[in-house]
Structure 1
Amino acid sequence: MPPKLAFDVDYWLPDPRLDGLVSGYHRYAIEPAAGERHRDVFFPGWANMRFHVAGEHWRVRLGDDSFDVPRTALFGPTSKAGYSEGASGIVVGAGITPLGWYRLNRGDAVGFADRIAPLAELIGSEAAPLATAAAAPREDIKARFDTIFLRLLDQPRSDEARVAQVHRYLMDPGQGGVAEMAARLGLSHRTLNRVARAAFGFGPKLLVRRARFLRSLMALRGASASTWASRIESSYYDHSHFNRDAQEFLGMSPGEFMRLPKPLNDASARLRMQILGAPAQALLHPRLTEPARASKGSAGRHTDGDSVRPLDS
């Protein structure tokens, strides 16, 4: 039986003016049993800014690389699941979409792909006010983040339409491969590759495969293993093809991943679906021009185990 763990998970929708640029705000507060370390997992996804506002340091493994996470950190876009290990603490964060990255910074996302680095490497002195906002009382975090991100992301770039087109294509379960993407979007292969690496962090072929894999993985959650073959996307040749992708993106088989104790990941997926609209950040649809999703509510919280009041800010 896994060690007893107390935790809170909070998610907030950003200001509607940030829709399509910031995927959401989150706050994790965890308290493992005395003397225990907490281990959990992040799905492959887009970039995140994360602030360790209380507790001891933590480590995250991405594929073969391990990182001591800075207090004020940038998690670049990832093609690998992130396996974390830490003690008690509070982490607050903001997810940045590919379009948000493209607008925020002129540097290509590929330079931060599958990396964890000090946030100042990306935004310099702007990292400090975000860290201060993350350390605010829980009820103030969203408003403070909104104020800063509205300022940081208020200047569109002239060629953002291409980024949005690529993103919409990736979210379509019926999409084909890279050649079809280039043809449907009216882009040369060279331009498509440049846009993908600049805003998304990876080449278009890997992005198509990652999106397909994550949609299929989410379809398996809570399902009997005997039904898995009928739940994965039809573009997989067979179940062994899906298993090979699982080894690449998760570092283990789908069955091993499903059996892995990951209470924070499971709670986050449920709450993200309820509040933000998809169980994984990389599956959120770009919505820059659509109305705010007020009908879903603007905030949500999951609490499990004993109280985490000693950690609360």
Structure 2
Amino acid sequence: MLSRTYRPSADLAPFVRRFYVFEAPLPDAMVVEDFLLAETAFVRCLLRGDWAGETGPGEWGTAGKTVFFGANSKPFKVRVKGGFAVTGFAIRPSGWHVLFSEPHHMVADKMLPLQLLWGQLADKMFEDVAEAKDDAGQLQAMENAIRKRLALFQPCDADTQMARFEIIARTDSTIRIEEAASQVGLSVRQLERRCLAAFGLTPKAILRRSRFLDSATAMRGFSSPSEGELGALRYYDQSHMNREFRRYTGMTPKVFASAITPLQTAGLKLREESRFED
């Protein structure tokens, strides 16, 4: 799999975390089943390939060519047949309220046509992305669409407290909720309400997922935590670790360690590469 990531322009950085391009020149008959566990909502333009998501037990469906994915509280199974090419962007929780009308918890764990949320702007963005000749053109098309969306919301300011909590969740996943709330200047109840609206999950669920992702990233070899950091990430006992891995992957840690998960693994690599960025 070939992956390329790009930072947004300065004016969009408070709202968009990253742009990315994924390409995989796979045999036409090859089927890859994997799962996503996204910390933030993201949008994908499916330029090539036969993509589907599990919409129910054993049921697979699509959401068109311009797809919105809500943040995940559990693994979201996906399947692709043959080679594929996608481009898209990850949305910062601090920018949620100026890009979407709905609170995030209403669309968490869902795959939807972006048209349901952005109307005709989603169609226009896909047309421009598909016509682009290179990565730069695709990024420009997406940035233009995002700016048009932002223009609908005035004032267009990012949520600085949610931006702070995003950093905390990515860099200190074992922090106590009370301490995190204090650091962002909110009460615990206020933090819970704001996180549901911006992240799609409660603060506890966000940190729990982040702790698992920190552990999975280390297991995949993309990070090298110190002994102290690794000790903080360790679960109480093997039973606890098994429960968390089953919750977020559907596998035991032993099975996950040797499982082939190209899409999920690419996400872990990208997460680690951008973990300490503002």
**TM-score band, normalised by the shorter chain?**
0.7 to 0.9
- Structure 2: which amino acid aligns with 1:150? R
User: Could you tell me which residue of structure 1 aligns to residue 193 of structure 2?
Assistant: 194
Shift of 1:231: 3.4
SS for the counterpart of 1:85 is strand
1-structure distance, mates of 2:30, 2:233: 42
1:6-41 per-residue CA deviation (whole Å, 9 max, x = no partner) reads: x43232222132223212122223343342212333
User: Could you tell me which residue of structure 2 aligns to residue 137 of structure 1?
Assistant: 133
| Cα contact 1:167–1:286 (8 A) shared by 2 | no
User: Could you tell me which residue of structure 1 aligns to residue 101 of structure 2?
Assistant: 106
User: Could you tell me which residue of structure 2 aligns to residue 51 of structure 1?
Assistant: 45
Q: 1:62 to 1:238 in 2, by over 3 A?
A: farther
SS for the counterpart of 2:112 is strand
1-structure distance, mates of 2:58, 2:89: 23
| Cα contact 1:61–1:83 (8 A) shared by 2 | yes
Where relative contact order (Cα < 8 A, 6+ residues apart) is larger, the structure is 1
Q: Does 1:95 align with 2:94?
A: no
Shift of 1:112: 0.6
Q: Within 5 Å, give how 1:1-313 maps onto structure 2.
A: 7-56=1-50, 58-61=51-54, 67-70=60-63, 71-88=65-82, 89-135=84-130, 136-139=132-135, 140-153=137-150, 155-156=154-155, 160-173=159-172, 175-222=174-221, 231=230, 233-234=232-233, 236-267=235-266, 269-270=268-269, 272=270, 277-278=273-274, 284-285=275-276, 287=278
Over the matched positions of the two proteins, sequence identity in percent amounts to: 26
- Structure 1: which amino acid aligns with 2:74? K
- Structure 2: which amino acid aligns with 1:277? E
Q: 1:35 to 1:197 in 2, by over 3 A?
A: same
SS for the counterpart of 1:74 is strand
Structure 2: any 5+ residue segments left out of the alignment? Answer: none
2-structure distance, mates of 1:175, 1:151: 38
- Count of equivalent residues: 269
Q: 1:171 to 1:264 in 2, by over 3 A?
A: closer
SS for the counterpart of 2:88 is strand
Shift of 1:202: 0.6
Q: 1:95 to 1:255 in 2, by over 3 A?
A: same
2-structure distance, mates of 1:102, 1:27: 25
Shift of 1:158: 6.0
Q: 1:176 to 1:159 in 2, by over 3 A?
A: same
CA RMSD of aligned residues (A): 3.0
2-structure distance, mates of 1:204, 1:124: 31
Shift of 1:141: 0.9
User: Could you tell me which residue of structure 2 aligns to residue 305 of structure 1?
Assistant: none
1:211-270 per-residue CA deviation (whole Å, 9 max, x = no partner) reads: 1111121112139xxxx9993634632343222111111111122222111234445544
2-structure distance, mates of 1:84, 1:138: 26
- Structure 2: which amino acid aligns with 1:77? A
Q: 1:232 to 1:20 in 2, by over 3 A?
A: farther
- Structure 2: which amino acid aligns with 1:137? K
SS for the counterpart of 2:98 is helix
